[in-house]
């Protein structure tokens, strides 16, 4: 096909744009150590899936990359905060992230906590002040959406439940789904929904994209669980087998590896159904991102 969507080119172009914007958003200034710690984790690589979802959703409903870039960066700042805090000894206690020593291993636990706090605070400042060519009312809705995805109705709720359930052999599928919908899927959902809001999406478009995002958010974690038991630390860029080592409940543990893979395929199919009403050419990046999440190897 003459106009066939090239996902590799799309990912490379968006990653360059997002990384440039992140680099420019947080510069080293006084006090230098905290800004260096923020930049260390923020610019350590990563797939930039959340920013890409945000930009792709914005484009899909008629917006442009400029409308969504500040939000895309804000979401990545919050995602990075969650990784810094997740890796701390009092949480998941991990030494490796994105193929590098975790933030607290380089800067100490005290600075790592503060770097995460600073990224969280600055994310909202950046979304509120650096978003361009979008009405204040839509920016306000986007800020509220992002806040909800991080707090006790989102990421924090999932993390608390996850910590409480670690080592508990009686955790069932319902609780596992609660953990992942909140801990992982909430921020992925916010990425898509905020992109659609800032792009000028109508309510019914935002609703369809929210349902799409919930599916791929859960899909992301199911695949993460599968990779943890099928890949090495070198392949993942983080410690492999960690879930098994701490007796964490995962989809492969509850369903078995093959059933977990089947569930992932079902979620991917359901996600794509939500995009059927959109222009297929404009929806191509989101369809490709769903496949990428489903079939990624790290």
Q: What is the pLDDT of residue 99?
A: 86
Query: Cβ neighbours of residue 274 under 8 Å, at least 6 residues apart?
Result: 208, 209, 211, 212, 215
Name which of 9, 118, 148, 134 is nearest 69 in CA terms: 134
CATH of the domain at 221: 1.10.600.10
Q: What is the pLDDT of residue 169?
A: 82
Q: Is the pLDDT of residue 192 over 70?
A: yes
Full residue range of the structural domain in which residue 111 is found = 7-295
Name which of 20, 108, 10 is nearest 52 in CA terms: 10
Using the CB atoms, write b or e for 235-254: b if 16+ within 10 Å: ebbbbbebbeeeebbbbbbe
Residue 47 in domain: yes
Taking each helix axis as running N to C, give the angle between helix 173-180 and helix 203-230, from 0 to 180 degrees, rounded to the nearest 10. 110
The CB-side HSE value for 37 (13 A sphere, CA atoms) comes to 27
Residue 168 in domain: yes
Residue 1 in domain: no
The pLDDT-based confidence of 249 (bands split at 50, 70, 90) is: confident
Using the CB atoms, write b or e for 137-153: b if 16+ within 10 Å: ebbebbbebbbebbeee
What digits encode the pLDDT tens for the residues 31-59?
999 999 999 999 998 889 999 999 999 99
What digits encode the pLDDT tens for the residues 255-290?
999 999 999 999 999 999 999 999 999 999 999 999
The pTM assigned to this predicted structure is 0.91
Per the structure, the count of domains in the chain is 1
Using the CB atoms, write b or e for 276-291: b if 16+ within 10 Å: eebeeeebbbbbbbbe
């Amino acid at each position: 096909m003459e106009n066939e969507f090239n996902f590799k080119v799309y990912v490379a172009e968006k990653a360059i744009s997002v990384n440039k914007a992140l680099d420019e958003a947080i510069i080293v200034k006084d006090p230098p150590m905290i800004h260096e710690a923020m930049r260390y984790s923020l610019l350590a690589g990563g797939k930039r899936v959340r920013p890409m979802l945000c930009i792709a959703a914005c484009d899909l409903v008629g917006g442009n990359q400029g409308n969504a870039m500040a939000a895309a960066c804000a979401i990545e700042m919050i995602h990075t905060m969650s990784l810094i805090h997740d890796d701390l000894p009092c949480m998941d206690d991990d030494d490796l992230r994105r193929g590098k020593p975790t933030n607290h291993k380089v800067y100490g636990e005290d600075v790592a906590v503060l770097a995460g706090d600073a990224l969280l605070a600055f994310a909202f400042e950046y979304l509120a002040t650096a978003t361009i060519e979008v009405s204040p009312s839509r920016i306000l809705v986007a800020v509220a959406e992002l806040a909800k995805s991080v707090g006790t109705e989102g990421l924090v709720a999932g993390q608390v439940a996850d910590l409480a359930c670690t080592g508990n052999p009686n955790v069932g599928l319902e609780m596992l789904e609660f953990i992942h919908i909140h801990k992982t899927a909430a921020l992925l959902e916010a990425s898509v929904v905020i992109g659609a809001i800032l792009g000028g999406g109508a309510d019914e478009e935002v609703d369809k994209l929210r349902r799409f995002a919930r599916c791929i958010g859960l899909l992301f974690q199911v695949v993460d669980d599968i990779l943890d038991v099928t890949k090495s630390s070198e392949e993942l860029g983080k410690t492999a087998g960690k879930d098994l080592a701490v007796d964490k409940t995962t989809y492969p543990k509850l369903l078995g590896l093959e059933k977990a893979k089947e569930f992932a395929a079902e979620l991917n199919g359901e996600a794509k159904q939500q995009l059927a009403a959109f222009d297929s050419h404009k929806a191509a990046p989101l369809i490709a991102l769903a496949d990428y999440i489903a079939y990624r190897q790290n």
